[in-house]
Amino acid sequence: MRQIYLDHASTTPIDPNVLEVMFNFQKENYGNPSSLHSIGRIAKKAIEKSREKIALILGTEKDEIVFTSGGTEADNLAIIGIANAYKNKGKHIIVSKIEHKAVLKACRKLEKENFEVTYLDVDKNGIVSLRHLKKSIRPDTILVSIMYANNEIGTIQPIKKIAKILKESKIYNPIFHTDACQAVGALSVNVKELGVDAMTISSSKIYGPKGVGCLYLSRKYSIEPMIVGGGQEGGIRSGTENVSSIVGFAEALAVSDDKRNKETERLIALRDYFWSRIKTGVRGVCLNGSIKNRLPNNLNISISDVEGESLLLYLDDKGIYCSTGSACSSSDLAPSHVLTTIGVPLALAHCSIRFTLGRYTRKSDIDYAMKILPKCVEKIRDMSLVR
């Protein structure tokens, strides 16, 4: 059976070249980077070279890159670590209502510790309210976290405008963090150009290994560690480093950044073609979010009278792999907090499906998917009528 993978926002297949680079550090140069012998020094040098490679793409210095186990840990470290480091200056945090749960649940945890969190509204396309942001800044605001691009509907936030608002604030200058896990590989992640003080990136979204990511944090700011022990990563994140994955992460980021412009152009054309086919081939369909201000590979749609989970399983049976929303909460049958926040009615929120294209997606894959999708939709609707 033909298999079509349309769930790249959840994770990506590893690039064969990245895998080849990693293999050497699994088989031969497997030393502990904290060891003083030659194999350990080779591993340590590989980590620092990878850190430099990532820092160059982010437009920063290598001592501002902290390796983590992935995006969730980096988000937690940014929110909880920064909040605890600056709680003597204030205990107010600002985030948007459509952040990834790695940010939202970290904020909920802090609320139990007497921090106050303001959750910003977004419009129907998922764009954060700049007016609400300006009004929410207070003398005790220590941190603002707004994701660069949304993992469910692909909305791209005006990060530069947000950074300008925060830098021009005469009340207080809060630290600005952005979760860029979905944006990396599709958008520029130069932190100086964006104006951010902290940024989260995950390897698994850019054809690198799973279980590794990083947090960029400007050296102007401090952070309280969440994992303590041997003092690795400058004392910010203890634990023996995952050398092969770190090397693979750096290579994957370099490859993705090199391909970014051409791949973005290709994916926009392919995504728009897919959307045009869906609009003409499927009854009762609507797009969630804006078609213009979204990631090039993202299509999040709702199909009336067709439950998203049911459609996903029917498509899966035909070898087409997609998602109903965030893969990190796929076991949660509650409607997407992102969709309900942007005003999608509850019934349609349950009817959502997310297709995310990738580096190996071709027009023939879309054509094949469109042979299957309308039939699955009508089959589900017919079964609903029978019941």
Instruction: Please give the angle made by the CA atoms of 86, 88 and 89, to the nearest 5 degrees.
Output: 70
Contact predicate 276/291, CB 8 Å: no
Calpha distance 264→230 (Å, rounded)? 41
Query: Is the separation of the CB atoms in 230 and 239 below 8 Å?
Result: yes
Residue with tokens 């130069």: 190
Q: Exposed, middle or buried: residue 221 (CB in 10 Å: 0-12, 13-18, 19+)?
A: middle
Q: Annotated catalytic residue: which of 107, 322, 328, 351?
A: 328
Backbone phi, psi, residue 72, to 5°? -65, -45
CA distance 33 to 40: 5
Q: How far apart are CA 291 and CA 282, in angstroms?
A: 18
Q: Identify whether 181 is a catalytic site residue.
A: no
Give the Cα-Cα-Cα angle 197, 80, 241 (nearest 5 degrees): 80
Q: Running DSSP on this structure, what letter comes out for residue 87? A: T
Cα 227 to Cα 97, 125, 230, 239, distances in angstroms: 27, 37, 10, 8
CA atoms within 13 Å, Cβ hemisphere of 101: 10
Token pair for 373? 């999708």
- Chain centre to alpha carbon of residue 239: 24
- 3-class SS at 378? helix
Which positions are catalytic? 328
